[in-house]
Chains A and B, each alone.
Chain A
């Protein structure tokens, strides 16, 4: 990953305040420097071992190709060329992109609406609701997906009964045509509550005097919500969006779990992550799997970075 490119040139030591040029301070500073590194060192060790090293290693592996016939050989960027022309990978990437287009707005709208409503109320019910909307976040993603798998299932789920009440046949939630929406629903259910808490906290941070001013100017409740509150919490919205973007692009657990109940609708290569996983662990193609992982990592990294750059005004980054 292009981590190193991010780093500014080796730290120009901060110019010391000119009014304290005494030697004693100098010695103190050197001692402090050592303490700084001591505090950071344990984390730095883990950082290098489990982030920098795997990334460097993956990059190294992704530049090689090994076949039974010829052994391992250095093939430069052949794996990347292969990945970006591999219809399976591209299809997965496209699928993840369309998930991002549908899933992120879905999560954010639910979270925003819930937060705006909760911000307007201060009853026992609203307190209780806040907890209940958040609770799915406490459920492991695997368990959440398992539960929804049962709920979607025509054998176990309530859909037949519920649709039966109005005299309709229940749709098959696990078929090829519906699995997309089914997955969007699971993710929204799981994460909207967490995002709601972040947005809610930001709303609580606004000075209520501003609402008074808006009301005096003749704004009604909806106008205050959309024209005053939402713009004022745009930085939190940007953050939620980044969270959701990073999560969506590495989509893995939910489709992987649902695959067991919807094999026809979810192939092993449904998302790039699932593709890399099956390449590595079912076909032992670690070199190509590394290239896929790395390519995906670059896409996610570039995507979130680009987004942050485009929204730097809203996100408060100059």
Chain B
């Protein structure tokens, strides 16, 4: 979650070119082969470190509870029996299949919160970048300060506020606070300033386009890379959010998958007899992790340039 909140005002001396891609470097290929072997070994060690938990999760999702404790292949290899499909079936049965409801909730919260936050950020960033209006600088400096307000410090006050509004334990309690993305606005403003030249807007106006039409037809297409980035960051932020739904939701039917699985784990650890569902927790975690990993792998070309926007601009 931290990533959505912070945002240091960033370098002015950074290169103009926001694309990290560049033709391969000349000259140093093959010159110091020895060092390259060392680099590759180091890389492989790093990859093993970063990938082991995921490998464990994949393997563990194919085991039943007994296999998790004492599988024939040990914790890091497959057990004799393959139970992935049994486990998935178990997810449909345990507590009436509430797991799928949680997964659906997560999708719903992430999409509505993420898309909403992005729309607000694009509009506001554009407004800040391309219009001079009274109070603009004041508001923007307040916003810059807000980027550094830790979002978790807002959770308890937000809870009290929402409960006064009678919104606690409704979907709004998760969606509405997720719309707030000061960092997104900041990114959009910085990006818009460079990507949409004033001359272009003036030309559109001279041609008789209204402000809205100029925005939708001239500016929006130019802003696409930044929009994808902000969307990705806010969707991931909402999907991963834990503290907020933990505080504002108590109805099990409304929980996102993160809070739901955590509840199962807490119950299982408490040793409550019928609630020890280790295999379902593991399989549930595995299933819930897949969508984001697939999204990241397939949207590579967007986020690789995009996530660094904040760094380069």
Interface of A toward B, CB cutoff 8 Å: 1, 3-4, 6-11, 13-14, 29, 32-40, 42-44, 46-47, 49-51, 53-55, 57-58, 61, 110, 113-114, 117-118, 120-123, 125-126, 128-129, 131-136, 138-144, 146-151, 155-158, 161, 189, 191-194, 197-202, 204-208, 211-212, 221, 235-236, 238-239, 242-244, 246-247, 249-250, 252-253, 256-257, 260-261, 273, 276-277, 280-281, 286, 289-290, 293-294, 296-297, 300-301, 304-305, 308, 315-317
Closest Cβ neighbor of B263 among chain A residues: A260
Instruction: Provide 5 A-B residue pairs closer than 8 Å at the C-beta atoms, listed in order of the A residue.
Output: A50-B179, A155-B69, A253-B243, A277-B156, A304-B148
Complex: A308 Cα to B155 Cα, angstroms: 25
Query: Are A132 and B47 touching (Cβ within 8 A)?
Result: yes
Query: Are A32 and B133 touching (Cβ within 8 A)?
Result: yes
Query: Are B265 and A290 touching (Cβ within 8 A)?
Result: no
Query: Are A297 and B39 touching (Cβ within 8 A)?
Result: no
Query: Are B160 and A57 touching (Cβ within 8 A)?
Result: yes
* Apart from A139-B289, A242-B6, 5 more pairs, CB < 8 Å: A7-B139, A10-B138, A123-B40, A140-B239, A235-B11
Closest Cβ neighbor of A273 among chain B residues: B152
Complex: A1 Cα to B149 Cα, angstroms: 8
- List, in ascending order, chain B residues with CB within 8 A of A46's CB: 120, 176, 179-180
Q: Which of A39, A147, A161, A193 has the most CB of B within 10 A?
A: A39
What does DSSP make chain A's interface, helix, strand, loop or mixed?
helix
- List, in ascending order, chain A residues with CB within 8 A of B47's CB: 128-129, 132-133
The interface bits of chain B over 111-149 (1 if a CB of A lies within 8 angstroms of the residue's CB, else 0) are: 000000001110110111011111111110111111011
**A-B residue pairs, 5 tightest by C-beta:** A39-B127, A36-B131, A201-B308, A247-B2, A36-B133
Complex: A122 Cα to B24 Cα, angstroms: 7
The size class of the interface chain B forms with chain A is: 35 or more
- List, in ascending order, chain B residues with CB within 8 A of A132's CB: 47, 50-51
- List, in ascending order, chain B residues with CB within 8 A of A281's CB: 247
Query: Are B149 and A51 touching (Cβ within 8 A)?
Result: yes
B97 interfacial contact with A, CB 8 Å? no
Asked if A236 meets B150 with Cβ closer than 8 Å, knowing A33-B134, A37-B133, A147-B53, the reply is: no
Query: Are B312 and A201 touching (Cβ within 8 A)?
Result: yes
Complex: A191 Cα to B124 Cα, angstroms: 29
- List, in ascending order, chain B residues with CB within 8 A of A301's CB: 145, 148-150
Complex: A117 Cα to B40 Cα, angstroms: 8
- List, in ascending order, chain B residues with CB within 8 A of A117's CB: 39, 42-43, 46
Of the residues B10, B136, B211, B288, contact of A239 by C-beta under 8 Å = B10
Asked if A136 meets B50 with Cβ closer than 8 Å, knowing A143-B289, A315-B11, A316-B13, the reply is: yes
Chain A nearest CB, measured from B136 CB (Å): 6
B159 interfacial contact with A, CB 8 Å? yes
- List, in ascending order, chain A residues with CB within 8 A of B266's CB: 260
Query: Are A35 and B156 touching (Cβ within 8 A)?
Result: no
Complex: A132 Cα to B297 Cα, angstroms: 10
Complex: A134 Cα to B236 Cα, angstroms: 14
Query: Are B153 and A250 touching (Cβ within 8 A)?
Result: yes
Chain A nearest CB, measured from B146 CB (Å): 6
Chain B nearest CB, measured from A164 CB (Å): 10
- List, in ascending order, chain A residues with CB within 8 A of B75's CB: 151, 156-158, 161
Query: Are B131 and A32 touching (Cβ within 8 A)?
Result: yes
Query: Are A8 and B137 touching (Cβ within 8 A)?
Result: yes
Asked if A221 meets B20 with Cβ closer than 8 Å, knowing A43-B124, A117-B43, A247-B6, the reply is: no
Query: Are B46 and A40 touching (Cβ within 8 A)?
Result: no
Chain A nearest CB, measured from B277 CB (Å): 13
- List, in ascending order, chain B residues with CB within 8 A of A276's CB: 156
Query: Are A297 and B153 touching (Cβ within 8 A)?
Result: yes
Closest Cβ neighbor of B68 among chain A residues: A156
Closest Cβ neighbor of B296 among chain A residues: A138
Complex: A159 Cα to B60 Cα, angstroms: 15
